């Protein structure tokens, strides 16, 4: 039986989880998304065609792979329908492949309005959210006011809950934020109409996911990264869900004993979108050059990502928090162009007002100045590229099991077959 595995971004998201899931799904039986919303953006390049998936698991592009959106995900019906339509227009069939938990909470137009109004009010102190309503939706979930897909099975129940919740939202919008309110009746009509188009995918996924795991070959896919975890990340500059190992269990209902391997997705350098501390950030031409070569523009936000050297302190924390078995190192090819490459080993306390940090310790290694693009055999990597990878392995005390050498699904080195490992 194949292993069941989970994937965690080790830093602040955008590590390349989508591509790795896509590669692994070639031999997988199912892919399960466990948290976040359409603030995620997993970019895949297949036969020169770019797909950007925000909600649906990356495995949907494989014919024989089941794709499940777990209960820990918050869902915008508009975003979901848009994604479904785009996939179908490109010849990707979803019939009998896609399942969505009935316990997923719905993102309402008022959630989006509140999210954006809050960021405007905070001004320079804003969190840097995507403005897509994810945070307010999770807030309503925790306060037990939220609306789930299961509520739509009874229209009267749904309408009563929607009236109560949007009434509360509109009060906040009008009285506190001095913003326009949103019509409840038209919102209800739109949601009911759109729900009919996706209701065939809705089910109780708890037992379904565990049964899939008993057959093996299930890949659990998260959004964002470990340092954006609501409990363990760089609070308050975090997302509104658990992006770490605990989110796998709570966001799907899986029995953890069924999962045998944890893969940390780590970029060969570090990036961050939006506000928040970033100790290894390079506010210079080197950082700009990394961003240019790496195409560091958010797939969801369109915002330019901040770039810096690999943050080893964060990597070690992620390994500890998530009990990781190995690492997938992505975008090694971006560093092909530099005379020297560095690793941020350690630093002191972070000032969360200024984001300044003392006692930064940097290790510098010689670059390799030759192309790694498309290499699929580890032995064929340039000597200094291998030295860089092996330094990370030694310092972090973990094996680099997968290395991505370009954006295409075939531009990858798999040192071991993770799903097949016993």
* Residues classed as catalytic: 14, 42
Structure tokens at 175: 């009285």
Is the CB of residue 33 less than 8 Å from the CB of residue 55? yes
- Please list the residues that pair with 6 across neighbouring strands: 220, 262
Is the CB of residue 338 less than 8 Å from the CB of residue 315? no
Torsion of CA 419, 97, 244, 362, to 10 degrees: 60
- How far is the C-alpha of 67 from the C-alpha of 59, rounded, in Å? 6
The count of other CB atoms within 10 Å of the CB of residue 51 is 20
- How far is the C-alpha of 238 from the C-alpha of 128, rounded, in Å? 9
């Amino acid at each position: 039986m194949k292993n069941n595995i989970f994937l965690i971004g080790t830093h602040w998201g955008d590590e390349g989880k989508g591509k790795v899931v896509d590669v692994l799904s070639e031999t997988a039986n199912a892919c399960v998304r466990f948290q976040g919303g359409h603030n995620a953006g997993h970019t895949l390049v297949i036969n020169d065609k770019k797909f950007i998936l925000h909600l649906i698991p990356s495995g949907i592009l494989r014919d024989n792979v089941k794709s499940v959106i777990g209960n820990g995900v918050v869902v915008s019906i508009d975003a979901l329908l848009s994604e479904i339509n785009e996939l179908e227009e490109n010849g990707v069939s979803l019939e009998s492949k896609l399942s969505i938990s009935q316990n997923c909470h719905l993102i309402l137009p008022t959630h989006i309005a509140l999210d954006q109004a809050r960021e405007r009010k905070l001004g320079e102190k804003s969190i840097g959210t995507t403005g897509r309503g994810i945070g307010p939706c999770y807030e309503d979930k925790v306060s037990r006011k939220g609306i789930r897909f299961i509520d739509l099975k009874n229209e009267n129940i749904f309408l009563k809950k929607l009236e109560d919740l949007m009434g509360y939202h509109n009060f906040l919008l009008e009285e506190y934020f001095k913003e326009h309110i949103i019509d409840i009746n038209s919102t209800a009509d739109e949601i009911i109409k759109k729900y009919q188009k996706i209701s065939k995918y809705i089910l109780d996924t708890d037992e379904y996911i565990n049964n899939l795991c008993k057959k093996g070959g299930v890949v659990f896919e998260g959004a964002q990264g470990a340092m954006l975890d609501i409990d363990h990340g760089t609070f308050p500059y975090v997302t509104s869900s658990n992006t770490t190992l605990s989110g796998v269990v709570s966001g799907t209902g899986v029995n953890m004993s069924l999962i045998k391997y944890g893969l940390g997705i780590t970029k060969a350098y570090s990036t961050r979108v939006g506000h928040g501390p970033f100790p290894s950030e390079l506010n210079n031409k080197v950082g700009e050059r990394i961003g240019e070569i790496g195409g560091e523009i958010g797939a969801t936000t369109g915002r330019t990502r901040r770039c810096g050297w690999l943050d080893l302190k964060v990597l070690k924390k992620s390994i500890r928090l998530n009990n990781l078995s190995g690492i997938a190192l992505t975008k090694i090819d971006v560093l092909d162009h530099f005379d020297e490459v560095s690793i941020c080993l350690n630093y002191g306390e972070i000032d969360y007002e200024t984001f300044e940090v003392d006692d930064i310790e940097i290790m510098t290694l010689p670059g390799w100045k030759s192309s790694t693009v498309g290499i699929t055999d580890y032995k064929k990597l340039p000597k200094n590229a291998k030295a860089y990878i092996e330094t990370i392995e030694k310092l972090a005390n973990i094996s680099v099991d997968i290395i991505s050498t370009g954006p295409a699904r075939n531009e990858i080195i798999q040192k071991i077959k993770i799903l097949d490992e016993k």
